[in-house]
Structure 1
Amino acid sequence: MVTKQQIIQAEDTFLSGENFYVQHFLGAHQTKDGYVFRVWAPHAQQVWLVGDFNQWDDSLPLQKRQQSGVWEIETDIPQEGQLYKFKVKQADGRTVLKIDPFAIHFEARPGTAAVLHTVPVKKWRDGLWQGRKKRQKTLNRPLNIYEVHASSWKQHDDGTPYHFSDLKDELIPYVKEMGYTHIQFMPLMEHPLGASWGYQLTGYFALSAYFGTPEEFQDFVEACHLENIGVLVDWVPGHFCVNDDGLAYYDGTPTFEYSEEQRAKNRRWGAINFDLGKPQVQSFLISSALFWIEFFHIDGIRVDAVSNMIYRDMDEGPWEPNHEGGNRNLEGYYFMQKLNAVVKLAHPAVLMIAEESTSETKITGMIEEGALGFDYKWNMGWMNDVLRFYEMDPIFRKDHLSLLSFSFMYRMQENYILPLSHDEVVHGKKSLMNKMWGDRYKQFAQLRNLYTYMMMHPGKKLLFMGSEWGQYLEWKYDHGLEWRDLSDDLNGKMQVFTRTLNQLYKEERALWELDDQESSLAVIDADNLDETTLTFMRQGKTKKDFVLIVLNLTPVERHDFAIGVPYAGTYREILNTEHEQFGGTWIANNADQESEAVPFKQYDHQIKTILPALGALIIKPEKIKLTRKRATPNKQTI
């Protein structure tokens, strides 16, 4: 039984921006005799509870709590499963039907009413996963993310989307077989238009009815954890949907949004920006984040469009500087720090990931040192540079090799995730496979080369669904993936290659064990412009634990190709992207190579091998002598 004092405390902390479980105060809640409904509309003239239980009329007026501007009513008329909204007479006298911002379930589209829905308390069975997650430091563990749009991964024969009960049966086994460590979903919260991909939200506490029920998603996450797969979810705290029945100008005045129209209006995305400095909005958003973490046991949140929240000049049109004369959105900057501080205090092992495209603000790292406190940042610069390079005719690549090697220079500035995401396979950008230069055979060869480069590069990984087998068509949000592609030999072998590469990534500790340390990478040769090759090494904790990576970025096979090695001994090729099982023409890997005492740049020894056209090799030491005389390093250009 909730006491009067508890209600007053919830109200006070909501107003001060310190109520991080405000959904227990606002929204609809069962009582001994029925339901209590509360909604924040401080400047409304009147609010009514309407629904199919009272023919949507004005028979159930709410009473205003003067201190907070919260309206409330307790009634035994509505029943479980019935639809409801709030009818709000706004400050200017206009009457609008509004959603409950704290509803946990809505009716299916195109309807927008909330559903009275009580989710039974779940007895979770993922204790082993949760305990292991708390003990392990993700910076020094493999993190390989499969990005998914839930309603277009697969669809039923009649075109209806899979619910999470379907995805539990099919997506989880597939992700496990493919060797990914985590699934990341594009936004799952309630949104009225599928064409927004979920980034124009209305219900911040509700799984979209388009994907099923809250219970189905809970069961899905639990099933993932039982298979040692983590679940991450996109979340949009910067802006929200403009629809009149949603959060927009809820009581007829700026409520969730900035009071200045210029700052409230998000022209680029046709949305409305949250006022991130308003205490009540901070309570609302942080409560939403914690709700998804705790109610659904998700393992991380990817925060969308961070740049739009921390800078004033990211949108189209005029902007005004802050009181210090700069372009930083101070409200957004401090809100990001507060969000991360609260989440990490409550759940240190939960991953906070920023989608952020600038370099002016430190995104990952300690808040006390001025960073925003995220665990990881999407490396958008890397993604843009790399795709630009692989789309290029190889004849020009020798003059642009730095597009691949430049990221080696700044890799320690942040904790990065390397994303090949949904944004790169829509709007006429073409699929990843179809971006590659040349005929279809060469396109697949280069896609294997690209994925090898990504998986061997320091940082965590993300690949959008369908890219693992080289889907030819762009992604369509309202269609399932082109699974029929897998009947084609090259697509099928591309899928085998991605699965093999994912497994190799998990097995080779040198690829993730020291990801946050400078010593994890050594550039062997970034100067071979004429042959347009790139050679580097990933290092694990022990001297003998390293792998060599060689990329051939032209369609010319290289014989007697020299590779500098740190120790004398025998070296074995463990992956050749041009092997026939992956879609290439090689029937066997190169033979083991014995090093020669011939200097190569900073190394005293080298091996020689055959480097396939448009191919990549991964090589490991087989038997080596762990002593070496360091030669004077030659200066390299990167």
Structure 2
Amino acid sequence: MEQDIYLFHQGNLRYSYQLLGSHKDTQHGIPGIRFAVWAPNAKQVSVVGMFNNWDGRQHPMKKWNKEGIWYAFIPGLETGMMYKYEILTAHGHLSLKSDPYAFSSEQRPHTASIIYPLDHYTWNDEEWLMQRKQRNIYESPMSIYELHLGSWKNIESEVFYTYREYAGRVIPYVKELGYTHIELLPLTEHPYDRSWGYQATGYYSVTSRYGTPDDFRYFVDQCHQSGIGVLLDWVPGHFCKDEHGLRKFDGETLYEYANPRKAEKSQWGTLTFDFARNEVQSFLISNAIYWLKEYHLDGLRVDAVASMLHLDFGKNDGEWEWNEYGGRENVEAVSFIKKMNEAIFEEVPNTLMMAEESTSWPLVSAPTYSGGLGFNYKWNMGWMNDMLEYMEIDPIYRKHHHHLLTFSLMYAFSENFVLPISHDEVVHGKKSLLNKMPGDYWQKFANLRVFLAYMYAHPGKKLLFMGGEFGQFDEWKDMEELDWKLLDYNSHASIFNYIKQLHQLYRDMPALWELDHKEDGFFWIDPHNNEQSIIAFARNSRSSNDQLVVVCNFTPEVYHHFKMGVPEQGFYKEIFTSDAEHFGGSGQTNGLLLETDPVPSHGQNQQITMTIPPLGVSFLKRTSVTKEAEHEK
């Protein structure tokens, strides 16, 4: 215990949730609950709850050490009882605070912490965890379905299913679509539904909106048993100012910076964690490990990393200060991020640590020993912004913006990238993914198909926010469920089927994922045809037999007898096209084998003559089957 206390104050206690908070204990043969809280500036701390009529005089805590850990043992308390800490500040003010380390909390709008030991759930995902240890995450397919539970489906507005009920609904749906992972918007306890979990108060409490901690464990367990990984959106950059939370926890700035220019995130109305403070480091690093260990999560998507790294993020002149070296970087945040990632990969190898980092900060997904931040993935925000800008342009004018299609390949292998089309891109007036697309009704769906096919052919792992998989017309409505009725219409059902088949292609073709992060996995055939808005490239796997040629047309023009360079002699077969009639396309397909001619074209030694579909993508694969054999078949 003394060693743990020492490590906590040194910023090196990776399991501080086992020291602090409320835990079952037995003292002098009597069972009860042990409480511990860090409040160095408090004059007095008491445990209050229904068990003592919220009377702070009944169970005062003792100060464990001069650094400010308070503790108490209360016999006879049981799982499910509510409590808070009553804190007498140095200024004589009494405040009631939720436990920063509580494992469960009251459902909003109530704010009490709940005693909830995490020792009585039996996991059944051993096979998944064993496979995870052996999996090469960089050379495996990864397609992530991002969802917000409360607005995926609900009973009615602000009335939700439980984690267990969501398991029975979400898992078969995601499995049918062919995704490899689910990514959940933040589930740490938060007071305001419309913050979507990004402004938390209970960092160790899975939100009670959908049930108990064991209910969420069941959800994760069932996902794993069904072969689906689970990622959680995690927010270490800032926290909300609600009175019962971390803000001025013991009457003084404690979890946040004392300097308001560093503490305030005015654009979000939140406070920044003090990354230089050792106890805050223990709190946050332990929290990441807690979610990975106690809930068997497969990884964390770390929110708003840019806001942690840059002192001037979202701020005007005069609202921030240069660091001690005269730079804009938050030096202690950089150090903390590296320390956090080192700890996580030591404690939970094969974890996915994904940074939402929106600037050109170098080596985000490189190891710390080579100068990187230590994540193993970074969201490719540059690709996302360029592609959405490009897709919203009328096809007539796309030839003037061709660089938006191709620029991402200039840096595609500088990081381990995820290509994200997330919730942030389909909310607050940005329109849904389908409704961003120009043209008439048919062209909107065709544009969506060509965009998604290019996304899955482009190097990098994939992420798509819920609703995009069936072409929701309205942007995300965070207080209502998805427009499931759209699946009754052929165009939307066709997009749903298209995503299923695109995932099947993606999983079956190692060229689309095996060398995602290596330059050997990609080469251009023709990146320069801006006049026709056509691009062509090849994707490679470790086996030359798996090579794919991908041809994309971003205009509604059909091109028959088009000469396209290819790398190998022989016959090419169109194994997938976004323009197939059963996807709602026009049916301009290449049904017969395409035989090469020994004519140099597009820098290749061979060429084929093919049909290029309107607003369509063709995936071509060299085959050993002859044209005669194909005809006989």
TM bracket (short chain): over 0.9
Deviation of the 1:158 alpha carbon: 7.1
**What is aligned with 1:584?**
585
Contact 2:589/2:613 (<8 A) preserved: no
**What is aligned with 2:470?**
469
**What is aligned with 1:172?**
171
**1:574 aligned to 2:575?**
yes
Say which of 12, 24, 30 aligns to 2:18. 24
3-state SS of the aligned residue for 2:92?
Answer: coil
**What is aligned with 2:269?**
270
3-state SS of the aligned residue for 2:173?
Answer: helix
What pairs with 1:241-252 in structure 2 (closer than 5 Å)? 241-252=240-251
Contact 2:571/2:622 (<8 A) preserved: yes
Say which of 19, 37, 40 aligns to 2:38. 40
> Using the alignment, how far apart are the partners of 1:275 and 1:196 within structure 2?
22
Deviation of the 1:589 alpha carbon: 4.5
**What is aligned with 1:316?**
315
> Using the alignment, how far apart are the partners of 1:328 and 1:316 within structure 2?
13
**What is aligned with 1:386?**
387
Deviation of the 1:431 alpha carbon: 0.2
Contact 1:50/1:57 (<8 A) preserved: yes
Moved more, 265-274 or 76-85: 76-85
**What is aligned with 1:633?**
none
3-state SS of the aligned residue for 2:8?
Answer: helix
For residues 445-488 of structure 1, the C-alpha deviation after alignment (integer angstroms, 9 at most, x for no partner) is 00000000000000100000110011001111211111111011
Contact 1:575/1:589 (<8 A) preserved: no
Contact 1:569/1:624 (<8 A) preserved: no
**What is aligned with 2:511?**
510
**1:50 aligned to 2:51?**
no
Q: Which amino acid aligns with 1:29?
A: H
| Structure 1, unaligned runs of 5 or more | 1-5, 626-638
3-state SS of the aligned residue for 2:560?
Answer: strand
**What is aligned with 1:431?**
432
3-state SS of the aligned residue for 2:399?
Answer: helix
3-state SS of the aligned residue for 1:463?
Answer: strand
**What is aligned with 1:335?**
336
> Using the alignment, how far apart are the partners of 1:135 and 1:514 within structure 2?
18
What pairs with 1:482-521 in structure 2 (closer than 5 Å)? 482-521=483-522
What pairs with 1:476-625 in structure 2 (closer than 5 Å)? 476-586=477-587, 589-623=590-624
Deviation of the 1:594 alpha carbon: 0.6
Moved more, 77-86 or 184-193: 77-86
Deviation of the 1:24 alpha carbon: 1.1
Say which of 3, 12, 23 aligns to 2:6. 12
For residues 352-379 of structure 1, the C-alpha deviation after alignment (integer angstroms, 9 at most, x for no partner) is 1100011133201120121001110000
Deviation of the 1:510 alpha carbon: 0.5
Contact 1:568/1:624 (<8 A) preserved: no
> Using the alignment, how far apart are the partners of 1:205 and 1:442 within structure 2?
47
**What is aligned with 2:198?**
199
TM-score (norm 1): 0.95
3-state SS of the aligned residue for 2:119?
Answer: coil
Contact 2:157/2:480 (<8 A) preserved: no
Contact 2:384/2:421 (<8 A) preserved: yes
Q: Which amino acid aligns with 2:37?
A: V
Contact 1:565/1:607 (<8 A) preserved: yes
What pairs with 1:300-449 in structure 2 (closer than 5 Å)? 300-317=299-316, 318-449=319-450
> Using the alignment, how far apart are the partners of 1:312 and 1:541 within structure 2?
43
Q: Which amino acid aligns with 1:36?
A: R
> Using the alignment, how far apart are the partners of 2:371 and 2:268 within structure 1?
29
Distance 1:141-1:238 versus aligned 2 partners, 3 A rule: same
Q: Which amino acid aligns with 2:110?
A: G
**What is aligned with 1:101?**
100
> Using the alignment, how far apart are the partners of 2:261 and 2:366 within structure 1?
32
3-state SS of the aligned residue for 1:12?
Answer: helix
Deviation of the 1:117 alpha carbon: 1.8
Identity percentage of aligned residues: 43
Deviation of the 1:278 alpha carbon: 0.6
Deviation of the 1:140 alpha carbon: 0.5
Q: Stretches of 4+ moved more than 6 A in 1?
A: none
For residues 551-574 of structure 1, the C-alpha deviation after alignment (integer angstroms, 9 at most, x for no partner) is 111111111122211111111011
Contact 2:565/2:602 (<8 A) preserved: yes
For residues 38-65 of structure 1, the C-alpha deviation after alignment (integer angstroms, 9 at most, x for no partner) is 1111001111211111111222211222
For residues 240-278 of structure 1, the C-alpha deviation after alignment (integer angstroms, 9 at most, x for no partner) is 011111000101111001111110111121100000111
Contact 1:433/1:472 (<8 A) preserved: yes
**What is aligned with 2:125?**
126
> Using the alignment, how far apart are the partners of 1:228 and 1:505 within structure 2?
16
Deviation of the 1:66 alpha carbon: 3.4
Contact 2:147/2:184 (<8 A) preserved: yes
Deviation of the 1:180 alpha carbon: 0.3
Contact 2:367/2:374 (<8 A) preserved: yes
Contact 2:289/2:348 (<8 A) preserved: no
Q: Which amino acid aligns with 2:83?
A: Y
> Using the alignment, how far apart are the partners of 1:467 and 1:91 within structure 2?
53
TM-score (norm 2): 0.96
> Using the alignment, how far apart are the partners of 1:65 and 1:125 within structure 2?
39
**1:282 aligned to 2:281?**
yes
For residues 132-164 of structure 1, the C-alpha deviation after alignment (integer angstroms, 9 at most, x for no partner) is 111121110001000011111111257621221
> Using the alignment, how far apart are the partners of 1:78 and 1:50 within structure 2?
12
Number of residues of Structure 1 aligned to a counterpart in Structure 2: 619
Deviation of the 1:396 alpha carbon: 1.1
> Using the alignment, how far apart are the partners of 1:398 and 1:289 within structure 2?
46
Deviation of the 1:332 alpha carbon: 0.5
**What is aligned with 2:629?**
none
3-state SS of the aligned residue for 1:515?
Answer: coil
**1:66 aligned to 2:60?**
no
RMSD: 1.4
Contact 1:39/1:71 (<8 A) preserved: yes
> Using the alignment, how far apart are the partners of 2:314 and 2:43 within structure 1?
34
Q: Which amino acid aligns with 1:350?
A: T
**1:87 aligned to 2:54?**
no
Q: Which amino acid aligns with 2:6?
A: D
3-state SS of the aligned residue for 1:9?
Answer: helix
> Using the alignment, how far apart are the partners of 2:71 and 2:573 within structure 1?
71
**What is aligned with 2:142?**
143
3-state SS of the aligned residue for 1:526?
Answer: strand
For residues 380-408 of structure 1, the C-alpha deviation after alignment (integer angstroms, 9 at most, x for no partner) is 01100000000001111101111011111
**What is aligned with 2:216?**
217
**What is aligned with 1:113?**
112
Q: Which amino acid aligns with 1:177?
A: E
> Using the alignment, how far apart are the partners of 2:63 and 2:45 within structure 1?
9
> Using the alignment, how far apart are the partners of 1:139 and 1:125 within structure 2?
26
Distance 1:425-1:348 versus aligned 2 partners, 3 A rule: same
For residues 190-246 of structure 1, the C-alpha deviation after alignment (integer angstroms, 9 at most, x for no partner) is 001111010001111111001211111111111111111100001111100111110
Moved more, 590-599 or 151-160: 151-160
Deviation of the 1:67 alpha carbon: 2.2
> Using the alignment, how far apart are the partners of 2:18 and 2:156 within structure 1?
40
Moved more, 412-421 or 361-370: 361-370
For residues 394-436 of structure 1, the C-alpha deviation after alignment (integer angstroms, 9 at most, x for no partner) is 1111011110111111111100000000000000000000000
> Using the alignment, how far apart are the partners of 1:587 and 1:558 within structure 2?
9
> Using the alignment, how far apart are the partners of 1:316 and 1:580 within structure 2?
51
Moved more, 154-163 or 412-421: 154-163
> Using the alignment, how far apart are the partners of 1:105 and 1:568 within structure 2?
63
3-state SS of the aligned residue for 2:459?
Answer: coil
> Using the alignment, how far apart are the partners of 1:67 and 1:94 within structure 2?
21
Q: Which amino acid aligns with 1:16?
A: Q
Q: Which amino acid aligns with 1:399?
A: H
Contact 1:577/1:617 (<8 A) preserved: yes
